[in-house]
Amino acid sequence: MAVMKKTSIYLDEEVDQALAAQAAEEGVSKAEFIRRNLEVVVSRPKRPRLSVGKLRRLPGYVPHPGGDDAELSEILDRRDREEREPYRSRAAS
């Protein structure tokens, strides 16, 4: 068995209740349920960040008429920020 390190976190009441309910459905403790799900998250391969150069190299890439690289780069940056925002706002709370 792997060495375990104790960690404490604060959870919203509704998140705590949802974790308990899902753990009960699976017939495991809440701690085991959290460990299993965290393992999945941290072992998942990181999605590579798209860049203008990578997009251009994709088969079938057709540049947007009148669009420029700066505009496309801003769209990709905005998408990355929007994907991270829910995690940042939760972490800041």
Confidence class of residue 82 from pLDDT cuts 50, 70 and 90?
A: confident
pLDDT value, residue 34 = 94
Q: What SS3 class is residue 86?
A: helix
Q: What SS3 class is residue 60?
A: coil
pTM recorded for the entire structure? 0.50
- End-to-end, the C-alpha distance of the chain in Å comes to 34
pLDDT value, residue 87 = 57
The token pair at 87 is: 């995690």
For 18-75, the pLDDT digits (tens) are 999 999 999 999 999 999 999 888 887 776 666 777 777 777 766 766 666 677 777 7
CA 8 to chain centroid:
21
| Burial class (CB within 10 angstroms; exposed 0-12, middle 13-18, buried 19+) of 17 | exposed
Backbone angles phi, psi at 9, to 5 degrees: -135, 160
Is residue 1 predicted with pLDDT exceeding 70?
A: no
The residues spanned by each domain of the chain are: 8-44, 48-93
pLDDT value, residue 93 = 46
Say if residues 33 and 19 touch (Cβ distance below 8 Å): yes
pLDDT value, residue 77 = 76
